Amino acid sequence: MPSTLFSPIKIGQQVLKHRVVLAPLTRYRADDQGNPTDTVVEYYQQRATSGGLLIAEATWINPLAGGHPHTPGIYTNDQIQAWKKVTDAVHAKEGIIYLQLWHLGRTTFSAFLPDKQPPVSASDIPVEGPSDIGLPYETPRALKVEEIKAITQGFAQAAKNAMIAGFDGVEIHGANGYLLDQFINTSSNKRTDQYGGSIENRARFPLEVVDAVAKAIGDDKTAIRFSPFSSYQGMKDDTPVATWGYITEQLEKTHPGLAYVHFVEPLIPDEVKEGEKVDTLDSFRALWSGPFISAGNYTYDAKMAFDRAEQSPNSLVAVGRAFIANPDLVERFRNNWKLNPYDRDTFYTPGPVGYIDYPFYNEKN
């Protein structure tokens, strides 16, 4: 009897043949204008499988979204046409590909924004500590309500552009300390209007973005990613289970036909004392009836991926670092083949090294 991990599941309009998903991974390989290059095309084609889902890297929805250098956009015709080469290459291998839509909010820098204007966020609270790219974080400007509405429509337009580029759907980036996550978390949202304070108010912006994107391209081509327990980029919420539980309940109520929801797993502690409470995604899984992608703990533990699929029949598992180093990860998981180790030093460097030069499996490896 085949394992659930390698059994079909429907997401949106597509029936997948397996449940091993390429997680969205920023790799800094776009050109200076935010266009995916030919090496990007090869990277995704290498990892495409018949009936397999790839989630393309975080992609800024417009210039005001604050993309870092060499990250891609989806708002110019050149960018759309460059992404079309990627989607064509994936579809040639009968793969499925979604695009992750991104607004960085307070985690970008004025140097990367039109007219060097300051970053924006829910409130004027900067991220503490150094940034990943060496620049000091700046104090953001709190968005006005009319600007929030404009950004919502920006996500919808980016979703339409993704359809023109040939993507099968889009994943709204509501995780990892970026703009929508900044509105959800109490650590970064101190607003006193309809977008701050209560859980319902802090959830309003991401839910409105889902509404707008689903209206623009259809529920069955729309998905969203969350990270309830992540502290990355200064995130912390007072009541994560209640907060994301409410969001999940609302999505189940208003958009049960979403292609999927995608949650980042909490870190597994090295030691758990007897009786100690451990964070899990179980409460959110219980609230969602559709496909549920989880990411975070499957990189070099195929057994965890197999077990998750068996325990949760509507689940898929997204893998990041191991998929970077193993373009044929799906077959390696299927056949229990040895995995290539990844080289962290080349995750974000330009060029093909550490990007499209990892070897496919052979018995001599």
Residue in 98, 178, 246, 342 annotated catalytic: 178
Q: Write out the two tokens for 118.
A: 């300051």
Q: What CA–CA distance (Å, rounded) separates 28 from 112? A: 14
**Inter-CA distances, 180 with 55, 68, 195, Å:** 19, 17, 11
Strand duo 9-11 + 14-16: pairing: antiparallel
Residue closest to 169 by CA, chosen among 47, 297, 314, 21? 21
CA distances from 356 to 209, 230, 347 (A): 34, 30, 11
CB under 8 A, 24+ apart: contacts of 120-126: 120/147, 120/179, 121/179, 121/182, 121/188, 122/182, 122/183, 122/188, 122/189, 122/190, 122/191, 122/195, 122/196, 122/205, 123/188, 123/189, 123/190, 123/191, 123/196, 125/187, 125/188, 125/190
Q: Which residues contact 324 (CB under 8 A, 6 or more apart)?
A: 25, 342, 347, 354, 358
Q: In the structure encoding, which two tokens stand for residue 63, read together?
A: 């210039």
Active site residue 361: no
Residues marked as catalytic: 178
